[in-house]
Amino acid sequence: MGHEKFKRTAGFTLIELIVAIAVAAILLTIAVPSLSNLIRNNEVTGQTNELVALINFARSEAIRRNKSIDVDLISGTDGWSAEVRSPDSTEDSEECTVGVLRCASYNDVLLSGASSLTFNSRGYLEPFGPISLVLKHTNCSGDRQRREIDIMPTGQLSSSAASCSGK
């Protein structure tokens, strides 16, 4: 009786499997905190972009309609919202509402600064002066989890990332 050669089947041995799981666990331990920071950064950046777009829309509507347009910024415990409306509208009239942005799904991002903006028919802020808004994650811990929106008196916007501690 000769030695029969064992056929090696394709697959992993138990030791190879344990090593692969250990390496995966180490990589996940390193990657998960970075992933949560990335998610927070993206939440704040996404909401900032949506708010900037809404403010730009309000300014363009004021110029297009040749009349003042208000942007009401409401911050609450269940998120924040922004509403673009004609100043001659009443609370109940929705026909004068131009646009609405509700961010209740991102209630981890807080909005602070001015509670309302008004653009005149030329696209300038009324009263004529700069306004700053801040969007910040509730668990702010990174350098990019706070965004500042500066609105010049002429209506032009700039947005920048800032550290959680502020300026």
> b/e string for 111-141 if b means 16 or more Cβ within 10 A?
bebeeebbbbeebbbbeeeebebebbbeebe
Number of independent structural domains in the chain? 1
For a pLDDT cut of 90, what percent of the chain falls above it? 19
Residue 167 reports pLDDT greater than 60: no
The domain of 95 spans 14-162
CA nearest to 112, candidates 132, 130, 139: 132
Residue found by looking up tokens 């666990």 in the block: 25
- Domain assignment present for residue 3? The answer is no
- Domain assignment present for residue 137? The answer is yes
pLDDT class of 154 with cuts at 50, 70, 90? very high
- Domain assignment present for residue 122? The answer is yes
- Domain assignment present for residue 153? The answer is yes
Q: What is the mean pLDDT of residues 85-94?
A: 63
CA nearest to 160, candidates 141, 140, 139, 132: 132
Domain containing residue 85: CATH number: 3.55.40.10
- Domain assignment present for residue 126? The answer is yes
Residue of higher predicted confidence among 111 and 54:
54
- Domain assignment present for residue 70? The answer is yes
Give φ, ψ of 120 to 5 degrees.
Answer: -85, -175
pLDDT tens sequence across 122-145? 999 998 888 888 888 887 777 778
- Domain assignment present for residue 97? The answer is yes
Residue 23 reports pLDDT greater than 90: yes
Q: What is the mean pLDDT of the chain?
A: 80
- Domain assignment present for residue 4? The answer is no
pTM for the full model?
Answer: 0.72
